[in-house]
Amino acid sequence: MPIFDTHAHYDDEVFDEDRDEILASLKRSNIEKVVDIGASLSSCRRVKELADKYKFIYAAFGVHPEEVMDLKESDMDWLKLQCRHKKCVAVGEIGLDYHYDDIPKEVQKKWFERQLELAREVKKPVVIHSREAAEDTLEILKAYHAEDVGGVMHCFSYTKEIAREVLKMGFYIGIGGVITFKNARKIKEAVAYAPIESIVLETDCPYLAPEPYRGSRNTSLNLPYIVKAVAEIKDMHPDAVIGITWRNAHKLFGLKE
């Protein structure tokens, strides 16, 4: 059955040596659609190149909270233009990351809010990055009525109580390799709580490879490990997880199956 990787970074330089070979191998392993996600202005340019080159790769354009320090309003004009690309399916990844303190919170909030406005302007869903910033993330999403554009909380890492708030807005939660980690109790509880109709699969490759490859370079070829973990938690057949999350991803991004 076809699998949809809703969040990947094949534009990353760690794939420079063998990107074409890896991408060519995906379809042989039933990975039939991938959204490559922008994280900086320069990565958005590479994302666009990949979407232009590969029929099965779609694009999301946005600036990650760790990359917003030098943004200018004119950059939003450029991003808006990229979001008109025929294969752009979302604005992202955008959000807040309080794990490190090198980017002031107020600067992160400013550009998170501005990119939410951008998503509304271009009528695209949002891909949200939120790390150790649940309260502020939810507050901003609610204030900007993000439910009007929809989206996904990528690499969901919070409690089922936060999942409840996210789901109330009609958002999806993105589940990746962390679900296979032994210490991922909160995430497993959130997956058990969330309806399967609100879950999408992702890898965040080259990051967050699942067990048994934790710590190594991740690729979409590892999606079956994530499927297996979700299936066990939800007491479902893996094929059912694949089928439902495939449909979910198409609904999220406004794509035809």
Token pair of 70 as six digits: 């030098």
For residues 73 and 50, what is the distance between their CA atoms, to the nearest angstrom? 26
Q: How far is CA 131 from the centre of its chain?
A: 13
- Write down the CATH superfamily of domain 3-253: Metal-dependent hydrolases (3.20.20.140)
pLDDT at 207: 98
pLDDT at 168: 97
Nearest to 6 by CA among 197, 187, 200: 200
Nearest to 80 by CA among 66, 97, 63, 67: 63
Consecutive 10-residue runs of the chain (257 residues): their mean pLDDT?
97 97 95 98 98 98 98 97 97 97 96 98 98 98 97 97 97 98 96 98 98 97 98 98 98 96
User: For 227-236, how does the pLDDT look when each residue is reduced to its tens digit (9 = 90+)?
Assistant: 999 999 999 9
Residue with tokens 């502020």: 136
Q: Is 36 helix (H, G, I), strand (E, B) or coil?
A: strand
- Domain ranges, ordered by start, for the chain: 3-253
Nearest to 154 by CA among 203, 188, 221, 113: 203
Token pair of 213 as six digits: 């490859």
For residues 110 and 163, what is the distance between their CA atoms, to the nearest angstrom? 24
Nearest-5° Cα angle at 148, 142 to 154 = 70
Total length of the chain: 257
DSSP lists the bridge partners of residue 4 as 33
User: For 168-204, how does the pLDDT look when each residue is reduced to its tens digit (9 = 90+)?
Assistant: 999 999 999 999 999 999 999 999 999 999 999 999 9
pLDDT at 45: 98
